Amino acid sequence: MTLADLLSLRSRTALVVGGSGGIGAAVVARLSEAGARVVSVDRPELDPPPGAIAQACDVSDPQAVAALFERLRAERTEPDLLVHCAGIVRDRVLWKLSDEDWRAVLAVNLDSAFYVLRGALPAMRQRGGGSIVLVSSINGERGKVGQANYSASKAGMIGLARTAAREAGRFGVRVNVIAPGLVRTAMTAQLPASVVESALAESALGVACEPLDVANAALFLCSSLSARVTGQVLRVDGGQLIA
């Protein structure tokens, strides 16, 4: 089998959750280039990336996610590949963090990942294979001042993925995590310059990552190049967190 064959996603359907965001749009583009039919899921007010089939859904709502998978079944677009990129931040130190901000971040970042995995796995199990990638963060591994809610949600994604990998592996389904560091997106563009400078200073390469760097890792984990890789956390962080 050639390298091109191993990287090819022809005849595969990929579901990208959060496909209208900076990282999500890059993932949509890269998986499409590899030949996948890509379904992009995001809030209804957001425009889908070019070339993707759009599905509007509030993925923090379990009933909305159940309805999404009903539509996917009816339209014969149930995924062989799933990349979860949805995420928000509501940064505050712990003693200033409201109940609402805690719940909102956990709902969008972690609860939605559970709802989407629960929706995707039955068909993957029945078909005897699939690949799932959850985009977490190095802050889910190390914690971060002002990000108790975000770090907890991203740490939870790692535990969720590793459990799913153990439960679904016997059915040929692989589940992995990408943990980015600082990535240049609209979200990180709002960070204070001092925060960006600190992240670059702790990076071994001294540069910020781009959304395409994360998308390339997602392509690897979705492709046959990673056929024996599951339950792993792949850091795409320029060496911010070396342990």
120 neighbors 15 (Cβ within 8 angstroms): yes
Residue 169 is assigned to a structural domain of this protein: yes
- Tell me whether residue 241 is in a domain: no
Write out the two tokens for 13: 């359907």
**pLDDT of res. 191:** 75
Return the percentage of the chain with pLDDT > 70, whole number: 100
CATH code of the domain covering residue 26 = 3.40.50.720
Q: What does the pLDDT average to over 21-35?
A: 97
Q: What is the pTM of this model?
A: 0.95
pLDDT score of 39 more than 90: yes
Q: Can you give the pLDDT at residue 198?
A: 86
* Between residues 227 and 243, the one the model is more confident about: 227
Asked whether residue 199 is assigned to any structural domain, the reply reads yes
- pLDDT tens digit sequence for 193-208: 888 888 889 999 999 8
Its domain, for residue 134, covers 3-235
pLDDT at residue 95 in the model: 97
| pLDDT tens per residue, range 131-168 | 999 999 999 999 999 999 999 999 999 999 999 999 99
What is the percent of the chain where pLDDT is above 90?
Answer: 88
* Residue 188 pLDDT > 90: no
Average pLDDT of the segment spanning 184-193 = 80
- pLDDT at 130 (0 to 100): 98
Mean pLDDT of the chain: 95
3-state secondary structure the chain: CCHHHHHCCCCCEEEEECCCCHHHHHHHHHHHHCCCEEEEEECCCCCCCCCCEEEECCCCCHHHHHHHHHHHHHCCCCCCEEEECCCCCCCECHHHCCHHHHHHHHHHHHHHHHHHHHHHHHHHHHHCCEEEEEECCCHHHHCCCCEHHHHHHHHHHHHHHHHHHHHHHHHCEEEEEEEECCECCCCHHHCCHHHHHHHHHHCCCCCCECHHHHHHHHHHHHCHHHCCCCCCEEEECCCCCCC
- Residue 3, burial from CB neighbour count under 10 angstroms (0-12, 13-18, 19+): exposed
Give per-residue pLDDT as tens, 55-76. 999 999 999 999 999 999 999 9
What does the alpha-carbon distance between residue 117 and residue 84 come to, in Å, rounded to a whole number?
9
- Let me know if residue 231 belongs to a domain: yes
Confirm whether 53 is domain-assigned.
Answer: yes
Residues recognised as catalytic: 150
The predicted structure's pLDDT at residue 90: 95
Model confidence at 189, pLDDT cuts 50, 70, 90, reads confident
Q: Which tokens go with 192?
A: 């204070």
User: Could you tell me if residue 87 is inside a domain?
Assistant: yes
Structural domain includes residue 243: no
Please determine, for residue 12, whether its predicted confidence score (pLDDT) is greater than 90.
Answer: yes
Say how many domains are in the chain.
1
pLDDT for position 134: 98
Q: What's the confidence (pLDDT) of residue 170?
A: 97
What would the mean pLDDT of 69-92 be, rounded to a whole number?
A: 96
Residue range 107-114: mean pLDDT, rounded = 98
pLDDT at 169 over 80: yes
